Structure 1
Amino acid sequence: MAMPIVLNSLTFLCVLAVLVAGQAEGRHHDPDCPSFSCGPLRNVSSPFLQASDPPGCGYRSYELICSDAKAAIRIDDATYYVSSINYSDYSFWVVAADMGLYNSCPLPRWNRPPSRYHDGMEVELEPRSSWQACFLKCSREVKNNATYIPVACLSTNDTYVYVLTGYGSILMEYLEPSCGYLAMIPWPWDSPGPWCNKPQENASYADVVKSMRIGFAVRFPFRYFRRSTSIKECLIRQFRDLSQDCSYGVKSCVPKILLVDGAFWYCLVDATGFGDYALSIIPFVFWFVKWIAVLCRFVLAPLVVLIFLAHKYWKTRITIDAVEKFLRMQQMLGPMRYAYTDITAITSHFRDKLGQGGYGSVFKGVLLPGNVHVAVKMLEGNPNCNGEDFINEVSTIGRIHHVNVVRLMGFCSEEMRRALVYEYMPQGSLDKYIFSSGKSFCWDKLAEIALGIARGIDYLHQGCDMQILHFDIKPHNILLDNNFVPKVADFGLAKLYPRDNSFVPSRALRGTIGYIAPEMISRSFGAISSKSDVYSFGMLLLEMAGGRRNADPNAANTSQAYYPSWVYDRLTQQDHVGEIFAHVYTEMHELERKLCIVGLWCIQMRCQDRPTMSDVIEMLEGGIHSLQMPSRPFFCDEGHNHAEDTYHLSSELTEISEDMSENFDV
């Protein structure tokens, strides 16, 4: 609250000062002040005035002494003739009035030292040129200094007079100890230039005398010069000064560049014609606000960024510490922990890439001693792979020992670099065989693989201390060893729940489109439970039996586009629901019919209509004659024998799944 009050108070004072100063200085532009003639000069106006002008017209220091032939002005204690006035560049030309009385060895009458400011106040009647010829009187002769030009005609046996030409304020800074200031004459302003014309190099005393007889230019009052310029002219002058400052070096250039927008405020106030008080207070307020902005930009903003980064690092550190604490406890119970350098050596610097999963890349490696082949999954650093998921996977697979579940042999965790070391499955994943005509299994082997998968899933549901829900059963996640024994893999999506807990929180909803149970999309189909894995397994069984993906819009016959609907129509007739006809027995292999019937039981739309994985194992182990056909699933329209409409219904369900999948980690 204090800062806004201070700024508002300063703003009020600035506006008040501008108004008062504008009224006080506005009289210099009073139209009642007439122009006048003075000697050879015509149409003379402000800043000049004559003795008869009313008060407030012009500047008192610029009063002209007029006669029929001459126009003179007093500067300090000397009189100068005004030969011309140039209102375009705000200067007038003067020549010493008694110059003609001098002999051949004159001394300038200007006795003001070459300094543009005295005690911080502006000096009026200032020479236009910054280059000057300074006369010095020395008590000793100056030798070995070429810049000191001797003036023999003004020197005596006891004193020595020299003249120096150059930039006025610099000349007075480096005087010889025995020398002092005597007089000065500005160098003539006789041609266009940014400020002045430099004197000739090695100018002689004769050249200085010549310049004294020519005269020099005197600038208008700075206040008049300031108010008489337009915004455009003021900005040109400001940026010209900026380029001049930058020519002197970086130290003087950088501050001007950082605050270059101050020139616009300065020129805006300048062009309004307000007085000196306004131009001194308003820039001060502006620079104060400007430096506050600079402070916020270069100090507070980086500080905020650093605090944010420190906060992020602190949160990451907490996650890492939690992972480390868990892993220290896990070392005594679970798989072996490896360093990242060990992982690099095991994979031969990640040379042999096996594939890309949803959680990272998989590389082939070798464990020594023994030359045991392993698959190393490098978890990529993304929001889907946080410390919680990593702990979940290690704790889940680390406690599992089953012939049909992939074994975790080791892991690595060094800050955000994490890896999982699995037993290597040389035959790859199941999808390479069931969707390929060149790599197919006989029906006995296919049924054996299906039974092994069912036993692995049932072990996850019933064989552990906690119920493990996989949520991503599909052919790609079923790996085969050397003997084609199936193993359920990829527990990146697995979750642990008590066996008696039938309710699963919505944040656990994950999976792959085409295998997701209906209740994972809409709770109207039932609660999410282990029956969700049963549904995914049923879709897998049907793909194994059909040797194709369940949904194939490019099928030659549109009735076969959706395989579950098509095979259901092959196994049943509309007027004899639940019976299997003799001609079907001759067309389909017995194990094919078994896989299809069990798969159709598993994909019932309502979860309570599906069997458990233990029931599924009994079905697969039993004979075909003991199986009954299930009810037609929701996606199968009971009014049609063909699957064209049911495929469209399935497509709509798939579209709904895709819309809902943004809530899942697919």
Structure 2
Amino acid sequence: MQQTLISFFCFVFLVFSSKVLCENQNTCRELKCRKHGPAIRFPFSLKGSHPENCGYPGFLVSCNEKRETILELPIPVKFAIKTIDYENQYIQLYDPENCLLVKLLKVYNMPISPFNYSEYQMTNITLFNCSSAERQLANNKVPCFEGPAGYQIYSLDSEEEEEEDTSLIPLLSCTKMYDYSSVPYSSYKPANLHVEWSEPSCKRCEAQGNKCGLKKNGTESTEIECLYRKGGSQKKLLVATGASLGSFVLVLLVAAVYHVYSSDRKEKENQLKIEVFLEDYRALKPSRYSYADIKRITNQFKEKLGQGAYGTVFKGELSAECFVAVKVLNSTKGNGEEFVNEVGTMGHIHHVNVVRLVGFCADGFRRALVYDFLPNGSLQDFLSSAGNNNSFLGWGKLQDISLGIAKGIEYLHQGCNQQILHFDIKPHNVLLDHNFNPKISDFGLAKLCSKDQSIVSMTTARGTMGYIAPEVFSRNFGNVSYKSDVYSYGMVLLEIVGGRRNFGSTTENTNEVYYPEWIYNLLEEKVDLPINVREEGDAKIAKRLAIVGLWCIQWHPADRPSMQRVVQMLEGGENLTMPQNPFASQGPAGTNTSAPSRNLNLQLEVIPELEQ
């Protein structure tokens, strides 16, 4: 029986090993759009036919209705591929509509990364319009160019224009229109356009008759390897080696290969889900970048700004004066839900106190989000206690920041077509621009629901410990709604008042007084808050923020104000009344006689979450 089991595992191991070894041959096979079209293989991949890991980032091609091979470049025009020279690493392009020069001028000076125009084809040209067709200039005629009525447009190399050639005498009756420098176009060969690539470099591998492919040593790796043909002797050696490993090692190997296989299948399912979402979202989506664009924007991920649970943030540059923050998501975290949440939610938002999503990258298993760069970092960096003056912003500025955050949350709840619940309001997710204006960020946990719906159903708690409303943990405290964001905002206000104090639900010292309760007791006893006072009125500002914060963290959602009311409380000049003690009962509603029992579920029907 044991021998039979070992033989079975050997067989399974060989099957999966053969799948891994022949993966490129089976799934990354060479394809063509039509019988006599160019062969499509690594570094190129055919859209809709090859898996994403069969090609190098930026080398995507597609087949059009006429079965022509189209190069998918991040420019507003499309060129067809005539030939691909893999050994010398260049491709010959043409325009199926025979309007090459007109299309080239539309993308004049636009980058075509990861490709470059061939040096020998670059030339300076001049365009002329002539009142009648000139036989001597027939070869220089520019098709598809919309010139003045009754005129024909001709192109001429600028160097030839300067030569004294009697054959160019007809130009004397023409009018010069434009001069263009470094255009990859020749009047004598108007149908030819060559582009080259340097990375990935497979020249040596191709010259040896082998093929290149991506290494399988990481989900985000762009390293390549030369895939040698496997001989019969190697297969026999693999069988002999596998048989000698023993049942225990074989079980581990089978499990590992199966894990890789299942992970790859799951990732492909996630990619398909994201692509379907982006297709439906076409009307609202911001700019889409390839992974090669992301590397160029971040200068090969040179400057790291921060690290989170779902990804790493890098500083990027779109132009000399336009900086961005690029969040590269971890492919090992989640199933793409955070990416869909972020892009889907941010497309509905346009507010001064919410960070702007500039663009995104969904290039196979590589996903990234591109935001406006905010130079002053997060609010978390500027929270300081009474004894710390190094990063203290002053109470006037802290009041402005608090009001800005409240207006941003109010907009999410009431300003969009659908109500947006953030579920992760905390100082770390409040970014500050150059004038310290706050902007809410990180919508990876956000939910969309209709404005006429008051409750959202959730299967698991979400958010950051210390800022999560009690009803998110247990429905015994009430139903989850927009009031959950109000609670998180209240905890942020109390942290602004008290600085970086540990007032979360857990602490190493169980005898330590719960900080919000301590603040409440000080205000009830009319004792001044121990804060950093610099100017007259600072104490009143801090007291107002503290009272509003205590209103927001009431244990029962029905006792908390809406964000619209919070804004009015922060802007108003009236004296605020103290809320009831939110700490009199810290258990489910009705478990403590000091707090009146409330039936928070009356006339509130539980609703399902909307698909995003």
The TM-score with structure 1 as length reference comes to: 0.47
1:623 aligned to which of 573, 578, 590 = 573
For 1:365 and 1:376, locate their aligned partners in 2 and report how far apart those are by CA, in whole Å. Answer: 6
User: Which stretch shows the higher mean deviation, 398-407 or 518-527?
Assistant: 518-527
Q: How does 1:518-529 map to 2 (within 5 A)?
A: 518-529=470-481
Q: Which amino acid aligns with 1:298?
A: C
Residue 407 of structure 2 corresponds to which residue in structure 1? 455
Structure 1 counterpart SS, 2:371: strand
For residues 494 and 544 of structure 1, the distance between their equivalents in structure 2, rounded to whole angstroms, comes to: 23
Cα drift, residue 604 of structure 1 = 0.5
Contact 1:356 1:362 in 2 (8 A): yes
Shift of 1:398: 2.2
* Offset from partner CA, 1:531-574 (integer Å, 9 cap, x none): 1110110011111122332529999x99984332222222224x
2: CA distance, partners of 1:389 / 1:324: 14
User: Does the Cα contact within 8 Å between 2:429 and 2:441 map onto a contact in 1?
Assistant: yes
CA change 1:588–1:455 in 2 (3 A) is: closer
The structural deviation recorded for 1:316 is 3.1
Cα gap change, 1:500/1:332 in structure 2, threshold over 3 Å: closer, same or farther? closer
Compared CA separation, residues 592 and 511, structure 1 to 2 (3 A): same
| Aligned pair partner of 2:376 in 420, 427, 430 | 427
Distance in 1 between residues matched to 2:360 and 2:573, nearest whole Å:
43
Deviation at 1:449, TM superposition (A): 0.8
Instruction: Name the counterpart of 2:539.
Output: 589
Relative distance call for 1:521 and 1:424 in structure 2 (3 A) is same
1:363 match: secondary structure: strand
- Residue 462 of structure 2 aligns with which residue? 510
Paired letter, 1:595:
L
Unaligned residue ranges in structure 2 (runs of 5+)? 18-256, 528-535, 587-612
User: TM-score if structure 2 supplies the norm length?
Assistant: 0.51
User: Which residue pairs with 2:11 in the alignment?
Assistant: 299
Equivalence map 1:46-445=2 (5 Å): 295-303=7-15, 313-368=264-319, 370-384=320-334, 386-435=335-384, 437-445=389-397
Question: 2: distance between equivalents of 1:604 and 1:290?
Answer: 64
User: Secondary structure of 1:412's partner?
Assistant: strand
Pick from 497, 502, 515: which aligns with 1:545?
Answer: 497
Mapped partners of 1:307, 1:433: distance in 2:
48
Q: Cα distance, 1:313 vs. partner?
A: 4.0
Q: Note if contact 1:360-1:379 (Cα within 8 Å) is conserved in structure 2.
A: yes
* Greater share of helix: 1
- Partner SS, residue 491 of structure 1: coil
SS at match of 2:288: strand
Identity percentage of aligned residues: 50
Aligned-partner Cα distance in 2 for 1:553–1:503: 25
Q: C-alpha root-mean-square deviation of aligned residues, in Å? A: 3.1
The letter for the 1-side match of 2:423 is F
Q: CA deviation at 1:365?
A: 0.6
1:634 is aligned to 2:346: no
Counterpart residue number, 2:558 = 608
- CA 1:308–1:628 in 2, change beyond 3 Å: closer, same or farther? closer
* Post-superposition CA distance 1:448-478 (Å, at most 9, x none): 1100000001111111122111111111111
- Determine the C-alpha separation between the residues in 1 that align with 2:294 and 2:537: 53
User: Separation in 1 of the partners of 2:309 and 2:301?
Assistant: 18
Q: Output one character per residue of 1:607-626: Cα deviation in whole Å (capped at 9) or x when no partner.
A: 1000011110110111142x
Q: Specify whether residues 587 and 374 from structure 1 end up closer, same or farther in structure 2 by C-alpha distance, changes over 3 A only.
A: closer
Q: Tell me if structure 1 keeps the 8 A contact 2:468–2:488.
A: yes
Separation (CA, whole Å) in 1 of partners of 2:322 and 2:455: 41
Using the TM superposition, give the Cα deviation of residue 434 of structure 1 relative to its aligned residue in structure 2, in angstroms.
1.7
> Against the structure 1 CA distance between its residues 412 and 553, is the aligned structure 2 distance closer, same or farther, given a 3 Å change threshold?
closer
Larger radius of gyration: 1
- Greater RCO structure (CA 8 Å; 6+ sep): 2
Question: Which deviations, in whole Å up to 9, do the C-alpha atoms of 1:390-412 show, x marking residues without a partner?
Answer: 11110111221100000100100
Deviation at residue 490 of structure 1 after TM alignment: 1.0
Give the Cα–Cα distance (whole angstroms) in 1 for the partners of residues 411 and 469 of structure 2. Answer: 20
Deviation of the 1:588 alpha carbon: 7.0
Distance 1:420 1:553 in 2: 32
Using the alignment, how far apart are the partners of 2:569 and 2:562 within structure 1? Answer: 11
Structure 1 residue 569 and structure 2 residue 569: aligned? no
